[in-house]
Structure 1
Amino acid sequence: MKTAVVILNWNGRKLLKEFLPSVVSHSQEAKIYVIDNASTDDSVLFLKKEFPQVHIIENQENYGFAEGYNHGLKHVKEKYWILLNSDVEVTPNWITSLIKTLESSPNIAAVQPKIKSYLEKNKFEYAGAAGGLLDKLAYPYCRGRIFDVIEEDQQQYDENCRIMWASGACFAVKKEIYENLGGFDEDYFAHQEEIDLCWRMHNFGFEIWYTFESEVFHLGGGTLNYNNPRKTYLNFRNSLYNIIKNTPKHTNFLILQRFMLDVLASLKFLFAFQIKNFFTVYKAYFSMILNFNKMKNKRKNTFSDVKYYNTKSIVWHRYFKRRKHESSIK
């Protein structure tokens, strides 16, 4: 087989029991792997007993999302990898369009499906929706999701198109390109490592695509819920890392602009009585300062001539112009 579906697991027996049956049922053309990140529950025993057709790769410790995948993927030899969260339900023929898109051009490095909510199946899901985009300050948003506003799927994004980043919840990638670019940055631990990877692909002239012809349903928050301070910290810090590593110029000025807006974000947490999240924003900046030179040294000299952002400020559009849909942003 030329395709591998690869799921990273950590103490996810409950999620595997609920979601893995759909993957097994609808992935006959692929080899299925579960990379176990040194789970302390009975995930591995459960897999061996209930899903003997699934290939298990056991990491020696919990390396987090980025390093956990990098370790496990060393043992996966298929040409195309579909990295899939353990809390995703797939549908019939979900693999076909992903691989067809990858094979349509040597310049296409990765592709994501339409990602909808497992709990509200008429809506897109926060982590990916109909494809990821960035604004100039590296704030991520999606076709179908801008910050906390999530659209219903009314076929408004039913066209295959180029995007800026593919969701870590589910995306297909060419093994050769992933390895040549060094895979996920292990200093991220988790969150936004897929944006960094896609941005590096972009800077080296590769393309990332979205296909509506493949559809999956994501539970979301399976490991950390969306308001968890740890998740907040990683998202803010790693987004700053993305700027340092991947913007072609004016990096320091962009970080200064980001800081002014992130202060407003921290106040929003404060007024919502999310005190831990309020302090977490500044903790992320402190960590960024400590690691600035380390991240800067990871910069490559190759930057794409094509701009990385679709709008200068998604914050301006969402909170000042009150625009809630990506289609209304120019």
Structure 2
Amino acid sequence: MLTFIFVDYKSGEATLNCIAHYIKKCKKSPAEISFVVVDNSVDDGNFVKLSSAYSTISITEYDGSVLEEKNVDGYRLLLWKNTSNAGYGKGNNAGAKIAGEFLGSDYLIFTNNDLLVLDDTLSVDTLITETEKPNVAIVGPSIVGKDGRPQNPYFEKNFFLRWGLDNLCYPLARFLPKKLTSGDLQENFVQNPVFRVMGAFFLIPRRIFEEVGCFDPNTFLFAEELILSRKLHDRGYVTHYVPAVHLLHNHSEIINKNYDFSKRLMLRFESESYYYKNYAGVSSVQIFVVRMILKSYIFRKKICKKIKSLFKKV
């Protein structure tokens, strides 16, 4: 059993569309497929939208809330209403647990609801077959953004290069050599293994996911796959990139609507700082210094933006 896991936050329509899209693209797949949706929205409106879209097989209580089993064109779907917005990691951990307890899932695909399959079919069997190679845990496909630029795979970046130097040099950071910038995208893929793939869509055997303790629950948003990749590497597992499977990341605006640029940047920084401190040995002093650099960068960026707007008015 292969289970797609969604964590939804006030984007029920996008989740419904994505599920329908995956079903269409998986019709020819020999794999047995199911879905788990964890609704992190808290408000009832989003849950009602998700629930009313499908016929109900059963309703039960699970972990203090409602768990509904649905029939979606012959596929099983479990919809669970979370009692709080616990974040991406905890939400997906709950989804994985439900998949194991109620569906007996062998493989999990963690996916955002803003992905489109570019191939005629979503070749999940290709992804599953890749995990049969020695020590392979995570498998990720080719993902491009709306601009056509690749978003997979990634290498591990030094903390100061990832967060310090670029921001320290702003607004002159554009003159830095590429290897000294914050980017961690591995643009010229040569061979596997890679350090990590994008968290928007990847496959992992459930037993391995549970073996390493699932997603670290201490980050709310961002860096979940970064931490998971490190935990797997420390256990001797590797990540493989499969460029033969193609998806488009049609970036959702949900995060942008709820967090402005500064808040998104600081939220990502705090999550990645947690990773660097707890999994990569970076000291609290280093993190404090870089945090000050980042706050200074945000201030300088706002000043530059105001100056540009003044020149436009002249």
> What amino acid is the match of 1:164?
F
RMSD between aligned residues: 2.9
Matched, 1:246 2:279: yes
SS at match of 2:116: strand
Contact 1:11 1:41 in 2 (8 A): no
Rounded to whole Å, the distance in 2 between the matches of 1:89 and 1:262 is 36
Cα displacement string for residues 62-84 of structure 1 (whole angstroms, at most 9, x for unaligned residues):
21111111122211021110000
1:3 paired residue number: 2
List alignment gaps of at least 5 residues for structure 2: 55-70, 164-180, 305-314
Contact 2:220 2:271 in 1 (8 A): no
Rounded to whole Å, the distance in 2 between the matches of 1:274 and 1:221 is 28
1:68 paired residue number: 91
* Shift of residue 184, structure 1, vs aligned partner: 1.1
> What amino acid is the match of 1:70?
N
List alignment gaps of at least 5 residues for structure 1: 276-330
Rounded to whole Å, the distance in 2 between the matches of 1:25 and 1:163 is 30
2:130 paired residue number: 101
> What amino acid is the match of 1:8?
V
Identity %: 19
* Shift of residue 196, structure 1, vs aligned partner: 0.7
Contact 1:131 1:210 in 2 (8 A): yes
1:83 paired residue number: 110
Contact 2:138 2:203 in 1 (8 A): yes
Cα displacement string for residues 148-201 of structure 1 (whole angstroms, at most 9, x for unaligned residues):
7999x9xx54x6521112221111112111112111111111110211111111
2:154 paired residue number: 132
2:49 paired residue number: 46
Rounded to whole Å, the distance in 2 between the matches of 1:173 and 1:149 is 22
Contact 1:131 1:163 in 2 (8 A): yes
Cα displacement string for residues 236-268 of structure 1 (whole angstroms, at most 9, x for unaligned residues):
112121122212x5x32xx54555555444333
Q: Structure 2 vs 1, CA of residues 160 and 93 (structure 1 numbering), >3 Å: closer, same or farther?
A: farther
Cα displacement string for residues 119-165 of structure 1 (whole angstroms, at most 9, x for unaligned residues):
33x222xxxx1212112327669xxxx757999x9xx54x6521112
Matching of residues 183-202 of structure 1 within 5 Å: 183-202=214-233
Rounded to whole Å, the distance in 1 between the matches of 2:238 and 2:201 is 17
Cα displacement string for residues 103-128 of structure 1 (whole angstroms, at most 9, x for unaligned residues):
222x11111111111x33x222xxxx
TM, length-normalised to structure 2: 0.71
Between structure 1 and structure 2, the one with the greater Rg is 2
Rounded to whole Å, the distance in 2 between the matches of 1:138 and 1:26 is 42
SS at match of 1:46: helix
Q: Structure 2 vs 1, CA of residues 164 and 42 (structure 1 numbering), >3 Å: closer, same or farther?
A: same
1:35 paired residue number: 38
The aligned length equals 255
Rounded to whole Å, the distance in 1 between the matches of 2:276 and 2:268 is 13
Matched, 1:273 2:302: yes
Cα displacement string for residues 246-292 of structure 1 (whole angstroms, at most 9, x for unaligned residues):
12x5x32xx545555554443332222089xxxxxxxxxxxxxxxxx
* Shift of residue 19, structure 1, vs aligned partner: 2.9
Q: Which moved more, 1:72-81 or 1:16-25?
A: 16-25
Contact 2:232 2:238 in 1 (8 A): yes
Contact 2:93 2:214 in 1 (8 A): yes
> What amino acid is the match of 1:104?
K
TM, length-normalised to structure 1: 0.68
Rounded to whole Å, the distance in 1 between the matches of 2:131 and 2:89 is 22
From 59, 64, 81, the counterpart of 2:82: 59
Contact 1:112 1:166 in 2 (8 A): yes
